[in-house]
């Protein structure tokens, strides 16, 4: 996201106040003193600054660490043994951190723990590490060489793209912790003790670090890197710690400065007047309105879930149903496809809590490809799996897989009374695929059927498609990468993936209008729905339900409860008239 530095022109602000911009997490505005936590060494390949080029990687790492951080080993076997030991230790640490964490945070840490303890990781590191040779077959490992090896493994994952590409940052976090154990704390910016009533400033914030933050003593966080859907943002949201991430000019903020952090607008104001508060301010979006979009039932707030624990969390957070069940959790890590009976048992456990109220539960059929390989799905490796065989395209490649899942869902629907079970297919590209899915699902005995809108071709043909389905759900994460022609793992091009893009918003508005014309509900179930400010715009564009991570429900509900439908429509029109995502976010934030 572009940074808008310069003097503030907002009312009531001192003329010397400077504004920095990033991605907001949460709704509460807070002010406090900056405490800078460590200095993250620059990663190779320009991952932080975007200015690195071939040939200067080594110089970057050298400048961060120097040549003094090194360990001598008796040979490569001794090096392998030590790396294996440290990876096991890191895995145990991450497992321990996840034990008492909220479910979504625990899932992230547990996934990282599994990666750290994967025995193939040692082989991949040794294939990339370049220890300095010494006499008598000894070798010397320098910190810079170890970090470079981890980054090369991460780069390999990014090149695959898709789900595997998303694991690249996990490798970087694991590498930082391994380096800490081998060479002493430097990489992972350990947080030694709480900083009461402080706003912590990080150059980079890992999932493990974020999970250890104490909301009772830390009133806010600013991170120079990252995005609104990254691990750090998700964890900060779950801890209810206001934050601005992806703020590239954060390094300009001096240690000890008083700042105003306004996540609703994605703003950091340096030099803001006022004392450091003893507690966080309440949201400034306004009071509850009897004519708000929630009071008038203009939109439903649903949850995205990927496990039974997520479904329970959704209930506890007051979700009005489930807008997206990611069924991959039932299939991943299995040598054999789960039987129909096992699927029925799992779906029933997930759905039953929502039966008494008749709330909707929307299940997405299996969405895997060569980037999320399953042992029982024989798919050849693809250079770009995000554009390959995945989602509905598995039908012709793996006969019977979708039919058995649909059978399990139909049996679950028959067993669980009072449930509003809806089923949708991912990665639909053509009207022919829509017809095939609908025919297959109806033959299985399923009623309410829908599609994911992720592919621009389907979005452009939605007028013809809408009458064929009962509902549609816009997956903004994939839609943005296909619409803008940018890999969703390309962190250096994150601005192009911002769902605040007026082009994307106009497309979403057009889809909502076509849905209304055909009397087909259109929802948003991507990360865009978790942004409280963007939620106002989406509702104003005509979206009838928003499905998000359960921890975001309270913040989105609070904002929408203070905005009328008339105002939401005006703000939506204001946003789509802007030139870019930065301007759209800014103008709506200022209007609020």
Dump the DSSP string for 444-467. Answer: HT--EEEEEE-SHHHHHTHHHHGG
Q: Are residues 430 and 498 in the same domain?
A: yes
pLDDT score of 323: 96
In a domain, 340, yes or no: yes
Residue with tokens 């300095």: 132
pLDDT(327) > 80 = yes
User: How does DSSP assign 40-82, residue by residue?
Assistant: PPPPGGGTTTS---TT-HHHHHHHHH-S--EEEESSHHHHHHH
| CATH code of 509's domain | 3.20.20.60
Helix (H) / strand (E) containing 473? strand 471-474
- Sequence-distant (6+) residues with CB within 8 A of 246 are 1, 22, 23, 223, 224, 225, 226, 227, 228, 494
In this structure, are 237 and 108 located in the same domain? no
Specify if 279 maps to a domain. Answer: no
247 is catalytic: no
Query: Chain-centre distance of CA 582, in angstroms?
Result: 19
Instruction: Say whether 89 sits in a helix, a strand or coil.
Output: helix
> Could you tell me if 36 and 48 lie in one domain?
no
| Amino acid 503: pLDDT | 96
Q: Which of the following is catalytic: 139, 247, 525, 586? A: 525
Q: What is the CATH number of the domain that holds 239?
A: 3.50.30.10
The answer to whether position 287 is within a domain reads: no
Q: Are 327 and 366 in contact (CB under 8 A)?
A: yes
- Alpha-carbon distance of 525 to 474, in angstroms, equals 6
> Would you place residue 9 in the very low, low, confident or very high pLDDT band (cuts 50, 70, 90)?
very low
Residue 548 contacts residue 529 (beta carbons within 8 Å): yes
pLDDT band at 492 (very low <50, low <70, confident <90, very high): low
User: What's the half-sphere exposure (Cβ side, CA atoms, 13 Å) at 392?
Assistant: 25
Identify the top-confidence range among 46-50, 171-175, 473-477, 484-488. 473-477
In angstroms, rounded to a whole number, what is the distance separating the alpha carbons of residues 157 and 151? 10
Q: Is residue 97 over pLDDT 90?
A: no
- Domain span including residue 206: 18-40+191-270
User: Which positions ≥6 away from 163 have C-beta within 8 Å?
Assistant: 371, 372
Hey, which of 85-99, 165-179, 375-389 has the most confident mean pLDDT? 85-99
**Model pLDDT, residue 592:** 77
Q: What is the pLDDT of residue 342?
A: 95
Phi/psi of residue 305, nearest 5 degrees: -135, 150
Residues 121 and 236 in one domain: no
Told to judge if 231 belongs to the known catalytic residues of this protein, a careful annotator would answer yes
Average pLDDT over residues 118-143: 75
Least confident of 3-7, 246-250, 297-301: 3-7
Q: What are phi and psi of 443, to 5 degrees?
A: -65, -30
The pLDDT, as a whole number, for residue 67 is: 39
CA 497 → CA 154, 205, 395, 487, 588, distances in Å? Answer: 21, 21, 29, 9, 19
**Do 122 and 164 share a structural domain?**
yes
Q: The pTM is what?
A: 0.72
Q: Is the same domain home to 537 and 560? A: yes
Among all chains, which residue has been given the structure tokens 């507690």?
279
Q: Work out the average pLDDT over 277-304.
A: 66
Same domain, 570 and 489: yes
pLDDT (0 to 100) of residue 542: 96
Same domain membership, residue 418 and residue 330:
yes
Clarify whether residues 176 and 313 are in a common domain: no
Is the domain of 149 the same as that of 196?
no
Domain for residue 417, yes or no?
Answer: yes
Q: Which residue has the tokens 């807070």?
A: 30
**Mean pLDDT, rounded, for 124-131:** 78
Do residue 208 and residue 155 come from a single domain?
no
Scan for tokens 């890590």, then name that residue.
333
Picking from 164, 183, 202, the residue at the C-terminal end of a domain is 183
Query: Of 139, 231, 247, 586, which is the active-site residue?
Result: 231
- Identify whether 157 is part of a domain: yes
Question: Across 180-330, where does the E strand assignment appear?
Answer: 198-202, 218-223, 243-245, 258-262, 267-270, 300-305, 322-326
Q: Are residues 326 and 411 in the same domain?
A: yes
- What secondary structure letter does DSSP report for 385? G
360 half-sphere exposure, CB direction, 13 A CA radius: 23
Task: Pick from 144-158, 186-200, 323-337 the range whose average pLDDT is largest.
Answer: 323-337
What domain count does the chain have? 3
Residue 559, in any domain of the structure: yes
Per-residue pLDDT reduced to its tens digit, 192-243: 555 567 899 988 888 888 888 888 888 899 998 877 767 788 788 878 899 9
C-alpha–C-alpha distance, residues 154 and 166, integer Å: 10
What's the angle, vertex CA 173, arms to CA 171 and CA 179, rounded to 5? Answer: 100
Which CATH number fits the domain that encloses residue 60?
A: 1.10.274
């Amino acid at each position: 996201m572009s940074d808008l530095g310069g003097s503030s022109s907002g009312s009531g602000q001192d003329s010397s106040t400077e504004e920095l911009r990033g991605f907001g997490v949460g709704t509460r505005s807070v002010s406090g003193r900056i405490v800078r936590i460590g200095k993250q060494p620059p990663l190779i390949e320009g991952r932080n600054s975007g200015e690195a080029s071939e040939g200067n990687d080594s110089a970057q790492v050298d400048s961060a660490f120097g040549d003094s951080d090194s360990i001598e080993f008796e040979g490569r076997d001794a090096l392998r043994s030590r790396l294996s030991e440290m990876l096991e230790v890191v895995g145990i640490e991450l497992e321990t951190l996840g034990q008492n964490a909220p479910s979504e945070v625990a899932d992230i840490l547990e996934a990282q723990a599994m990666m750290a303890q994967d025995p193939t990781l040692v082989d991949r590191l040794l294939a990339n590490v370049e220890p300095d040779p010494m006499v008598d077959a000894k070798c010397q490992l320098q910190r810079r060489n170890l970090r470079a090896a981890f980054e090369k493994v991460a780069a390999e994952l990014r090149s695959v793209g898709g789900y595997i590409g998303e694991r690249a940052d996990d490798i970087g976090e694991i590498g930082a912790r391994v380096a800490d154990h081998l060479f002493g704390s430097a990489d992972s910016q350990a947080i030694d003790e709480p900083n009461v009533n402080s706003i912590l400033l990080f150059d980079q914030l890992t999932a493990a670090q974020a999970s250890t933050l104490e909301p009772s003593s830390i009133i806010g966080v600013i991170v120079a890197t990252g995005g609104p859907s990254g691990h750090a943002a998700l964890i900060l949201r779950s801890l209810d710690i206001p934050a601005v991430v992806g703020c590239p000019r954060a390094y300009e903020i001096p240690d000890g400065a008083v700042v105003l952090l306004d996540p609703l607008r994605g703003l950091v104001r340096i030099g803001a007047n006022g004392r450091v508060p003893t507690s966080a301010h309440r949201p400034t979006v306004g009071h509850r309105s009897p004519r708000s979009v929630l009071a008038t039932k203009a939109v439903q707030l649903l949850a995205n879930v990927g496990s039974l624990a997520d479904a329970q969390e959704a209930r506890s957070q007051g979700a009005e149903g489930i807008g997206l069940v990611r069924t991959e959790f039932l299939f991943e890590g299995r040598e054999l496809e789960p039987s129909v009976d096992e699927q029925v048992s799992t779906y029933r456990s997930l759905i039953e809590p929502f039966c008494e109220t008749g709330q909707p539960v929307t299940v997405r059929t299996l969405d895997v490809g060569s980037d999320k390989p399953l042992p029982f799905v024989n798919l050849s490796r693809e250079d770009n799996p995000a554009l390959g065989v995945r989602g509905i395209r598995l039908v012709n490649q793996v006969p019977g897989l979708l039919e058995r899942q649909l059978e399990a869902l139909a049996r679950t629907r028959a067993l669980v009374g009072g449930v509003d079970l809806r089923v949708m297919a991912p990665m639909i590209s053509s009207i022919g695929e829509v017809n095939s899915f609908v025919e297959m699902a109806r033959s299985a005995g399923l009623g309410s059927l829908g599609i994911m809108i992720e592919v621009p071709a389907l979005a452009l043909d939605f007028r013809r498609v809408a009458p064929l389905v009962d509902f549609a759900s816009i997956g903004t994460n994939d839609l943005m990468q296909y619409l803008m022609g940018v890999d969703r793992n390309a962190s250096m091009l994150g601005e192009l993936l911002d769902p605040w893009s007026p082009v994307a918003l106009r497309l979403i508005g057009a889809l909502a209008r076509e849905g209304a014309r055909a009397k087909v509900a259109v929802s948003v179930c991507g990360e865009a729905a978790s942004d409280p400010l963007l939620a106002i715009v989406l509702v104003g564009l005509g979206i009838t339900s928003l499905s998000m991570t359960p921890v975001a429900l309270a913040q989105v509900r609070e904002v929408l409860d203070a905005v009328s439908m008339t105002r939401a429509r005006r703000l939506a029109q204001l946003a789509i008239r802007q030139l870019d995502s930065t301007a759209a976010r800014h103008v709506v934030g200022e209007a609020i």
